[in-house]
Amino acid sequence: MAIKPVYNCFHPILNKPTIEFSNIDQEAFQIAKDLQDTLNYISNGVGLAANQIGYDKSILLVDVRQIEEYANTQPLIMINPEIILESDNKLEMQEGCLSIPDLYEYVLRPERVEVRYWDLNEKEIIKEFDGYIARVIQHEIDHLDGILFFQHLSSFKRTLIKNKLNKIRKGEILPDYSFVLPDGTLVTPDKKTNQ
């Protein structure tokens, strides 16, 4: 198993767009496995982008099986995903993020999206998603584009959460899984001292 530490949202790798795969090779398979192993280990996550675990490549995982209505849904690996169509109808729902511990805010996003991506069999797929899965996909594609969910908030709301974001940046708020701080320091759950 390759459980990777999750990177803090202020680490440079999460603040720039990822690199697309020119072909689906062994690296893509390894990252997909690392995404799955890491998300399986972290009990409260429903999606993970490659740059959240230190890879600057355009691949993500959506696994919403812990949500009752999606219990029979298979995990979804998307390589070089791109939203090609989004609905005019938007919904506001609360979001959190494994790279932004202990922060939950309401974000307005399109209710339905059409996404083009490739799977691990090098098959191009164009598929429509709606509801909760559409939201998770949009959140993870944002990561691949170097965008964090709090950047969708109004400037007023961002001012309200500024202190909490500063604590996250400094490593004063930590999750219960291994976490890489903005300066590259690795903090493991057994070494947390100041949460």
pLDDT along the chain (195 residues), means of 10: 93 98 97 97 93 98 93 95 98 97 97 98 97 97 98 96 97 96 94 49
* 8 Å CB contact between 134 and 113: yes
Active site residue 140: yes
User: Do residues 130 and 78 touch, judged by C-beta distance below 8 A?
Assistant: no
Q: Which of 27, 86, 114, 140 is catalytic?
A: 140
Domain that holds residue 117: 6-165
The CATH number linked to 36 is 3.90.45.10
Total domains in the chain come to: 1
pLDDT at 194: 43
Instruction: Give this prediction's pTM.
Output: 0.94
- Residue 56 belongs to some domain of the structure: yes
pLDDT on residue 43: 78
The confidence score (pLDDT) of residue 1 equals 61
Residue 116 belongs to some domain of the structure: yes
156 inside domain: yes
Does 17 reside within a domain? yes
CA distances in angstroms from 75 to 33, 78, 93, listed in the order given: 12, 10, 22
Residue 53 confidence (pLDDT): 98
Contact 124, 116 (CB under 8 A): yes
Residue-level pLDDT at 191: 64
pLDDT at 44: 83
